[in-house]
Amino acid sequence: MSNSFAATSFVWVNGQVTIPKYVLDVLGVHSGHHESVTFIIEGDTVRLVNSAVFSMQHLQNSLKTGDPDNEKETA
């Protein structure tokens, strides 16, 4: 059984999109709680991740390597 799926949203005139609730659930982000998401751009691919999780993983990688500018990302 695959845990992959696709979700589609409209892009409004001002560039805003609505992230479907089931996508927010997968990310562990709850609307209305001042939570955020991070867009990770790799070539022509964009990934959407929970900002808090991404920041914590980036910090942990920096502490492991001793490099605060460590660009290796694990989300």
Secondary structure letter of residue 51 according to DSSP: H
Local confidence pLDDT in tens for the 75 residues of the chain = 467 888 899 999 999 999 999 999 999 998 777 889 999 999 999 999 999 998 888 888 888 887 666 555 555
Q: Output the pTM of the full model.
A: 0.68
Give the whole-angstrom CA distance, residue 52 versus residue 8.
24
Residue 37 has φ and ψ, to the nearest 5°, of -120, 155
